[in-house]
Structure 1
């Protein structure tokens, strides 16, 4: 009999989905397609003239506000009274925090999201970001008094607010040092199985959709650059909503004040995600995997496994890429026509290192592809222009290259730039 009309991206709808999981409600989840304007059809407007989601239908009863839905579900289906106490005083504290979400938190989210979705704005006004920051302060203050928003137990007020805050943090990053209790509260709720099941998927969709609207992620790059290509591959792999911006080094764009403000090292790539600016490709790969990666295998959360990936990222940073740059920099900047034998010997030695690593695990840092492979592949494919790989001497390295080459995200992010740098180097050396 219970039907929940919802849209996964909607924080209010997600809070109700979490409650349905928590209270084991026998519910039929019905998607409302806003793109097809299903929320404006007569049969839907009859249920909810406000044409919003969620809507809960339980027999003849129809409720069109998420907070009222949470109260109803807790009263009818909740077996543990702690989530919505019967005692009038305790219940008043929960109601107060439900209304805090309704009148403070969610309004501040909607003041940003509505213009993004409906009016096509691409920047968030600073006053709206300041309002979110203020809201974080309110939550921190509440959590300095009780473990959760309304008491020392999780209540439906936490469920409601959590869904909203997971949207707010996409727009304005939470400073964990400034708001440690809020950060701990988020982590606590995140690990609850019913929260995971009801909220996680929709929150991820919402985040990606929001970032695509804002164009918040920008990658400043030059296609022939191996570090830039590694980041482009990662953007393909993790479906990052990214704006690719070419930096013309020949025209000195990397030395202009506006670029130097982003990266005083005047190198590429540079990744810009809102107020965050990263000017090292390896750090960018780590960040993209953490924020946008859906498969943990590319950059494991486990500390020991992550250490192995980090080790190979630094192998690329300190061994592979410097040996490439020691040859290419003099070619590009000093006009040399021949490569010193000692530099070629150093490349040959690097091939030996890779072969040894691949004799221990299928990929550089384990038996799965990781961001370490992505970083190293972009470098090694450039080294091959300078010194051909002896496939008989290094069969595992050859197989590793072939394996990565056939990946669609590698092809899309790496192939064109590799072709460009190949032609450029050969023309200089010729």
Structure 2
């Protein structure tokens, strides 16, 4: 998300690092470029203006530290101001249980998918969750929610076609109370565009449902349109938070930086993919860190903890230190990383990895690597040194590749293993130039 803005900011910061000190002139030049970059990312003009004014005050009114380069100090100022701007308002979901949650949004915003993501998010926190199919307007909306509910193992309360909306609201609420549900999520009807009928219907639903949380789902890629949609809904429905769907896209996405300031409604969640578990609680520090190229180690650890067997990884680390890291270990590591999500998205979470923007992981290459390793015998995977020309030809034929592909994988694996062993022993710092990403890039 906001990749173009990120690249522009990196360019501005790089130029500032070339100066001996921060001055009114070079700060003004930098802020001019930042303002233009924010507006190009579809950030609301008053928000961009206010942010730049606050940065200017801090940058020119702060005593420079001798140990910190001026450019780095400016980045810190920018970071702190952006975190402060995004951090205003109440975060998180209210802790009282049981809680009724109302989810609303336009058709196409990802509302129903988000309902399932929220349900899974709560279920992972050991909450008893249920979904109410309240979208009686969009064709097959109830069926879609039922399929998603089955996928994440969360019950969906649904009524036959033609059931009055008021009945769905009242009976859904009563059933949740009977079954002692901790979190009951009502997936309300959307429309193709904001209209008076939709808003009046939602106001009526909210009156009957009496939600503890009312969340609006908006498409992060729509920029200023998302801001206007949020303003229209907030005028009729007592919204307590926003969910930005498709926050993993590379569109301008300036809504994330301005929607809260314009509407006064805090962002509570980000949708970061299509899978049911692709939902993150919005944490300003982590969001800004990723925007400024500082990575998001917390998100990376969260993914790893949910997918990776710690004991297996510890055993693999021991084999690496004892020079026993094999192609079978490499294949296991590759498959674990694939379970954590697209490999390029994992690289984006790593702070300080040089050249990560240029690394393009070729998914076809990943499949090719798997095919090559699977065409080896267990002994060959354990001792790649025995792979002579005849064996390599057999492996190439078995995997549908060329001998040059097999040779290339073995060469990169050998380089990676040497570098990883060096780092694991504390003899080196930084990231291997021919490491895991290098072995899979096109």
TM-score, normalised to structure 2, is 0.31
Higher-helix-fraction structure: 1
TM-score, normalised to structure 1, is 0.31
